[in-house]
């Protein structure tokens, strides 16, 4: 009995010593929101610093231009801030359009995979075949996957890099489904892919209908928010009138108007926003 107790105590001390002396594994830093936004927009070669530099350059140029025209620093500062946000807004819009385009073509890609598997091709061959037979927006990422798999033969690692290149929530689901199918195997792979294709097609159809119905309301709200600032920009050419905004009362009016427009715009987007699928498996 004493021997067993001694072995248990020794094993416990050994485990404690191992836990204390073993250095913790370093986790990969989570990408920033701007990095995820650039990847989602299909701009992997653009760095966050470059995006920030472009925003700053646009803001400074707009500030200088409006200041030379109006001679009113508060007004120029407002338009400088709006211009600085412009590139970020363009990248965000590009990311939304790209996700919409990929959501429309993913069902066809999954149908292609199901047909290839049913024809007797292995799963890696079927995935690599999308580089030639898949939808056009998806061919380049899968072409890179096919080259990497031919070089390394490591299916899981190639899938991880494919997810990084796609940077798409639906792509994450498809890739993880392929990973599970590869590990489990069996004859249900074709049926699994067909069910996934039908689900993706129904989801894309429903989302497109909802976006079409709400587009007029969103565009009208954007026009309502932009209208006062367009009028202010036109007033900048009348220096006697625009000079009033350089006073204390004028700056208060500008500040209150900017805050109200920003709050109203964000509230409109939040109320009319459709559920966005997040990359929980990235």
Sequence ranges of the domains in the chain: 36-272
User: φ and ψ at 43, to 5 degrees?
Assistant: -120, 60
Give pLDDT < 50 ranges for the chain. Answer: 25-28
**pLDDT score, position 2:** 60
Q: How far apart are CA 14 and CA 11, in angstroms?
A: 5
Q: How far apart are CA 31 and CA 47, in angstroms?
A: 12
Distances (CA, A) of 33 to 40, 149, 155: 10, 30, 28
Using alpha carbons, select from 160, 28, 51, 174 the residue that is nearest to residue 111.
174
**pLDDT score, position 61:** 95
Residue at token pair 């498996």 = 281
**Burial status of residue 236 (CB atoms within 10 A of its CB: 0-12, 13-18, 19 or more):** buried
**pLDDT score, position 25:** 47
**pLDDT score, position 83:** 92
Residue at token pair 């292609």 = 112
User: What SS3 state is found at 45?
Assistant: coil
Rounded to two decimals, the pTM is 0.75
CA torsion 64→51→93→220, rounded to 10°? Answer: -20
Residue at token pair 């409109």 = 268
**pLDDT score, position 4:** 61
């Amino acid at each position: 009995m004493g021997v067993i107790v001694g072995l248990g105590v020794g094993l416990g001390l050994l485990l404690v010593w191992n836990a204390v002396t073993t250095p913790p594994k370093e986790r990969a830093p989570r990408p920033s929101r701007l990095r995820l936004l650039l990847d989602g927009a299909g701009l992997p070669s653009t760095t966050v610093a470059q995006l920030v530099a472009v925003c700053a350059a646009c803001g400074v140029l707009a500030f200088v231009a409006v200041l030379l025209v109006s001679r009113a620093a508060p007004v120029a500062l407002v338009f400088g801030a709006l211009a600085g946000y412009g590139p970020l807004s363009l990248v965000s819009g590009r990311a939304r359009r790209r996700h919409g385009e990929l959501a429309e073509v993913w069902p066809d890609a999954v149908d292609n995979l199901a047909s290839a598997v049913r024809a007797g091709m292995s799963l890696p061959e079927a995935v690599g075949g999308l580089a030639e037979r898949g939808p056009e927006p998806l061919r380049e990422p899968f072409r890179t996957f096919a080259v990497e798999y031919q070089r390394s033969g490591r299916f899981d690692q190639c899938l991880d890099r494919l997810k990084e290149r796609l940077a798409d929530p639906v792509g994450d689901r498809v890739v993880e489904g392929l990973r599970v199918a590869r590990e489990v195997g069996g004859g249900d792979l074709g049926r699994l892919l067909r069910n996934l294709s039908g689900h993706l097609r129904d989801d894309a159809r429903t989302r497109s209908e909802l976006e079409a119905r709400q587009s007029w309301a969103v565009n009208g709200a954007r026009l309502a928010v932009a209208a006062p600032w367009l009028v202010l920009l036109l007033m900048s050419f009348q220096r006697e009138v625009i000079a009033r905004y350089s006073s204390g009362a004028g700056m208060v009016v500008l500040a209150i108007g900017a805050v109200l427009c920003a709050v109203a715009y964000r509230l409109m987007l939040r109320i009319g926003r459709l559920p966005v699928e997040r990359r929980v498996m990235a």
